[in-house]
Structure 1
Amino acid sequence: MDSPPPRPETTCARAAPPVRPSTAPLVPPPHLSVVYRFEGIDHVDDVYAGRDDGFVYARDGHPNAAALADRIAALEAADAAAVFASGMAATAAVLLAETNAGDHVAFAEQLYGKTISLIGRELSRFGVSSSGFDATRPESLADALRNGTRLVFVETLSNPLLRLPDLPRLADLARQAGAKLVVDHTFAPLLCRPIELGASYVVHSGTKLIGGHSDLTLGLVAGSKGDIARLSSVSSTFGLSGNPFESWLATRGLATLPLRSARAGETARDLAVRLSRSGRVRAVHYPGLPEHPDHDRARSLLSGGFGAMITVDLGDRARADAFIRGLRHVPFAPSLGDVATTLSHPSSTSHRGQDPELLDRLGITPGLVRLSIGLEDADDLWADFDRALAFVE
């Protein structure tokens, strides 16, 4: 018998039946559903057991995260990858999955400030000890390793002085100690593949260069299938997962990453040379400059350029502030990786609240300004920098 038509309240409340056209969309759509429907209890069992493909709940996984993870794994020459709510969520997932009370983590003193806080302050509350080392001096890692060291944490290019460690040597030392090397690759996607250099994990803040437009917040980790499966379980339990729409945005941003990376890197190298020759700054930190302490290593390990970041030492906080205020078109916005050039002041943003003695030892002074070069014309950017340097004087 035909059922009577539903009343308006029912029509509005019920999901519309899926549209099944004979054609497929050229661009994969965002899948915004929090939960997925099953045919019955056996179907649930099959999906949970891996006998059938499917998704259950967005915190555990969804099509947009799966699509992005596949692309990241291929990009990093890894077996698998996972998507997280932010770069710090990705870092936290690795630390939570790999350490227990009584374990030890060795971390590069040049790491992003929040990562140092997470390892040095927060993990200690759970009985995990840590010690820092100079990532540019492998012998200092040998001194920092312990019997219980489980992870060695470094960055490909450090924030903000753009130091490049000897990744193969650090990987060897970590392996000999029974530890895994974790590389934060946020500043250098496409410039090298840390897993091919011996890393066990590659971490990205997808918010930055991969997303590329300052309109999403995500983290990414690539590694072995077993390690990523463990991270995915931790992510679901602790609620660290990335959401569908931002995963979709990151996949869209990834499509232009090679073009953006090449253009921004070429412009950054041009501007680094101009700044270093200007005679109006104390120092320019850029691995593409011959005077950079890791230039030879960068030429050996990196391919396709030296990155889009330049750090300039103006001398002191007052001169840095004058430079920032003298810029007309480059905003002070403490992030990086946008299509437009932005600027940050590390000592008051990314490294705010860190140990002053450590910052002094590393050379992270109040006079440093970090530039994230975008896609603008190099001459237009130089005109703005030149004007700001004149304002400083």
Structure 2
Amino acid sequence: MDPSDPSRLSPPRAAPETICARSTPLPRSSSPPLVPAPQLSVVYRFEGLDHVDAVYAGQADGFVYARDGHPNAAALADRVAALEGAESAAVYASGMAATAAVLLAELGSGDHIAFAEQLYGKTISLIDRELRRFGIEASGFDATRPETLASVLRDRTRLVMVETLSNPLLRVPDLPSLAEMANRAGAKLVVDHTFAPLLCRPLELGASYVVHSGTKLIGGHSDLTLGLVAGPAEAMDRVRRLGSTFGLSGNPFESWLACRGLATLPLRSARCCATAMELAERLGRSPAVRAVHYPGLPDHPDHDRARSLLQGGFGAIVTLDLGDRGRADAFIRHLGQIPFAPSLGDVATTLSHPATTSHRGQEPELLARHGITPGLIRLSIGLEDPADLSADLEQALAAVS
């Protein structure tokens, strides 16, 4: 009997309770929908025991339970793997869940991880605080100075973690040199690529894993929370299994939304990078701004490296230093249309204050060492007209002055 035959679901004269409780399959169609639909089911049906055995063994296509995988996550993972030039990719509930999946898959008690001190604040907390409870040691280094990595590598170093563009000062690491040093020491390089999707391919530069917060530029609309990991097939099998065991998997609807956002990523990236470059140059000429951090500017300390590493722009983030917390607060309060919203990657421009949001709770000496001051403002550039954005920024800076 055809398992989709409605007569199989309810007897001919079923009670109303039975009719309401049992689902009816969608009508068959010889013309499939142009846009794949969200597949929201938590669980999938099987014809019998041989069928479920075949799906679990990979001998038949199919899904079992949404925490282990579902069609929308598979579709998103395939596209991200293709973008990164990876053999495989997986979807997780957030960028931090994606990072945690890699760390937990690769590290055990007695192991060591070297991390860039310029990482996102929550990532540093995960590595340098939480993992220590499990007997995992950690050491920080300056990702823009490869020699500092050499000084912290150990026999038990299993991972080295950096960002393509650091948060929030947009420092650019020498990825090929760091990958070579890590691999020579028997470690794997993990690159958080959240700030620079499409601008380079870390796996081709020697990285073993690429991690994204899909919440940001890939999703692109501030309406989903997801994380992504891409890497070699064998290693990703372990990361994928661990993600399911720890319950880190991403859900179907947000995976579907991310596929929608991914469709316009190249257009959004090009537009935002071009506008960011223009605004960085304008802000750099303002007497009210103490410093502008953007790798496209010639005075950025990693400008030459960014030019050789990045393709198609220098990113959608511009960070400026207004000197102190009071001036930063006045700037935020006088902006007309740019909201203070502690995230990034939306179609509209937003701003954040790293010292009180992304890097809140970090050690003061670490913040000071890396120039994360109370006057620092991080702008995430959107799709608006550059002249309108410039006018809004200039009137806020005039109020600060």
What TM-score do the two structures reach when normalised by structure 2?
Answer: 0.97
The correspondence of residues 111-190 of structure 1 with structure 2, limited to 5 A, is: 111-190=119-198
Aligned partner of 2:325 in structure 1 is 317
Give yes or no for the alignment of 1:355 onto 2:366: no
Q: What SS is found at the alignment partner of 2:138?
A: strand
Rounded to whole Å, the distance in 1 between the matches of 2:176 and 2:20 is 59
Rounded to whole Å, the distance in 1 between the matches of 2:235 and 2:393 is 45
Give yes or no for the alignment of 1:368 onto 2:381: no
- Cα distance, 1:111 vs. partner? 0.2
Give yes or no for the alignment of 1:338 onto 2:325: no
Q: Deviations over 1:69-128 (max 9, x none)?
A: 000000000000000000000000000000000000000000000000000000000000
**Which residue identity lines up with residue 246 of structure 1 in the other structure?**
E
Aligned partner of 1:248 in structure 2 is 256
**Which residue identity lines up with residue 189 of structure 2 in the other structure?**
L
Aligned partner of 2:3 in structure 1 is none
Give 2:296's match in structure 1, choosing from 275, 288, 298: 288
- Cα distance, 1:4 vs. partner? 3.5
Q: What SS is found at the alignment partner of 1:340?
A: coil
Rounded to whole Å, the distance in 2 between the matches of 1:17 and 1:318 is 60
Q: What SS is found at the alignment partner of 1:144?
A: coil
Give 1:215's match in structure 2, choosing from 198, 210, 223: 223
Which ranges of structure 2 fall in alignment gaps of 5 or more residues?
A: 1-6
Give 1:79's match in structure 2, choosing from 87, 94, 107: 87
Rounded to whole Å, the distance in 2 between the matches of 1:95 and 1:368 is 30
Give yes or no for the alignment of 1:228 onto 2:236: yes
Alignment RMSD (CA, Å): 1.0
Give yes or no for the alignment of 1:261 onto 2:269: yes
Rounded to whole Å, the distance in 1 between the matches of 2:388 and 2:12 is 68
- Cα distance, 1:47 vs. partner? 0.5
Rounded to whole Å, the distance in 1 between the matches of 2:332 and 2:164 is 27
Q: What SS is found at the alignment partner of 2:151?
A: helix
Quote the sequence identity (%): 77
Q: Deviations over 1:4-54 (max 9, x none)?
A: 321111110001123211110000000000000000000010000111110
**Which residue identity lines up with residue 253 of structure 2 in the other structure?**
F
Q: What SS is found at the alignment partner of 1:369?
A: strand
Rounded to whole Å, the distance in 2 between the matches of 1:4 and 1:292 is 74
Q: What SS is found at the alignment partner of 1:107?
A: strand
**Which residue identity lines up with residue 14 of structure 2 in the other structure?**
P
Rounded to whole Å, the distance in 2 between the matches of 1:39 and 1:87 is 37
**Which residue identity lines up with residue 365 of structure 2 in the other structure?**
E
**Which residue identity lines up with residue 241 of structure 2 in the other structure?**
S
Rounded to whole Å, the distance in 1 between the matches of 2:295 and 2:51 is 54
Q: What SS is found at the alignment partner of 2:280?
A: helix
- Cα distance, 1:277 vs. partner? 1.1
Aligned partner of 1:13 in structure 2 is 21
**Which residue identity lines up with residue 323 of structure 1 in the other structure?**
F
Paired residues, number: 393
Aligned partner of 2:245 in structure 1 is 237
Q: Deviations over 1:194-213 (max 9, x none)?
A: 00000000000000000000
Rounded to whole Å, the distance in 2 between the matches of 1:276 and 1:170 is 31
Rounded to whole Å, the distance in 2 between the matches of 1:144 and 1:306 is 30
Aligned partner of 1:387 in structure 2 is 395
**Which residue identity lines up with residue 23 of structure 1 in the other structure?**
S
Aligned partner of 1:378 in structure 2 is 386
**Which residue identity lines up with residue 71 of structure 2 in the other structure?**
P
Q: Deviations over 1:117-155 (max 9, x none)?
A: 000000000000000000000000000111100000000
Report the CA distance shift for 1:351/1:9 in structure 2 as closer, same or farther (over 3 A). Answer: same
Higher mean alpha-carbon deviation, 381-390 vs 13-22, is at 13-22
**Which residue identity lines up with residue 221 of structure 2 in the other structure?**
H
Q: Deviations over 1:305-348 (max 9, x none)?
A: 00000000000000010110110100000000000000000000
Rounded to whole Å, the distance in 2 between the matches of 1:293 and 1:236 is 41
